Amino acid sequence: MRVSGSAGIWYGTSGVAEIRTGRPVGADDTFRIGSITKVFVATVVLQLVAERRVDLNTPIQRYLPGLLPAAFAPIMVSQLLNHTSGLPNESGPDVPDLSTPEAVFHHRFDQWTPERLVATVTRLPMKFAPGTRQEYRGVNYVLLAILIEKVTGHPYSDEITARLLRPLGMKHTSVPGNDTRIHGPHVHGYLAMTEGTLRDITVVNPSESWGEGEMISTSGDLDRLISALFSGNLLPPHLLRKMFALPPEDVLMLDGTPARYSTGLQTITLNGITFWGKTGEQYGYANGMFSTRDQQRRIVFAFNPTHRDATQQQMTLRIAQAATNAP
């Protein structure tokens, strides 16, 4: 966990990076950051908007013709960015059943393409009219990563590297593509089997999370990213403001709670402090990157849950409470 900003700096670790060797966690150990990948994708899309190569109010169907069914309502680029697209649930015979940890291990090396990922959400009717509700969906960012490639003519990973990683000196951050391994010193992830034993799930094919959850990074690199982003070093002011703007108040989550996702970010208020940032997870990994708008307090954390259940959220809330409580 890394707490930084004008309020002060603190860094600490607990546990080990690998059970087998007992090696302690190092400051530059990498880990799978899951959906924090979406912040990188959203930032690049907004940079393309600034360059007038993408229009937020243009339907994604116009940029990517034929990828979604003709019967689908027009979905604006902005509605993908803030999860108000209304795309249906994944369905079809190629969608694996991952209801048990054993099934997760069985499918951990499955190979996916972006087009195949999108195809899984084309077989059912849309869930709601675009822009009327909010539902967090990874496939929104798969489409946005495809958009980056269509507009630039380059792999989205190359655009992230050229626009963000290299200029910010994020030497420990990468977009792995189909590479199953984490190279260099890293934290291992583990998953508890049904009978309770732990299995190492560090080595996986990340293509299942292409464009929305595949990246690898460190707490230091993520702190560098959110600091540069909130300082206005990556986007012009009018586009940066969109990252702190929620949908209209009448746009609610499917469960009736207020919308909490903006353009690329999410927000939470704890102990009177409002943070903006993003959580992320992969099997064996859970993490978050948050900051107040004025950067008085920035928080980056990563831990390694062995179960994908309510205990992950409980740990995240414990971390957030510790980071926001006054001494």
Percent of the chain with pLDDT over 70: 99
Q: Which residue has the higher pLDDT, 109 or 319?
A: 109
Split at pLDDT 50, 70, 90, the class of 326 is low
Beta carbons within 8 Å of 101's beta carbon, 6+ residues apart: 191, 192, 193, 194, 199
> Which pair of structure tokens corresponds to residue 317?
């809330």
Confidence band for 266, pLDDT divided at 50, 70 and 90: very high
* Full domain range(s) for residue 181: 2-324
Calculate what percentage of the chain has a pLDDT beyond 90. Answer: 91
Supply the mean pLDDT for the chain.
96
> Which one has a higher pLDDT value, 313 or 305?
305
The pLDDT of 295-313, averaged and rounded, is 92
Identify the band that residue 319 occupies on the pLDDT scale cut at 50, 70 and 90: confident
Number of C-beta neighbours around residue 327 at 10 A: 2
What CATH number does residue 303 fall under? Answer: 3.40.710.10
Residue 327 has pLDDT above 60, yes or no: no
Q: Is the pLDDT of residue 7 over 80?
A: no
- pLDDT on residue 112: 97
- State how far the Cα of 164 lies from the Cα of 217, in Å rounded to an integer: 13
pLDDT, tens digit, for every residue of 131-183? 999 999 999 999 999 999 999 999 999 999 999 999 999 999 999 999 999 99
Structural domain count, the chain: 1
pLDDT over 80 at 185, yes or no: yes
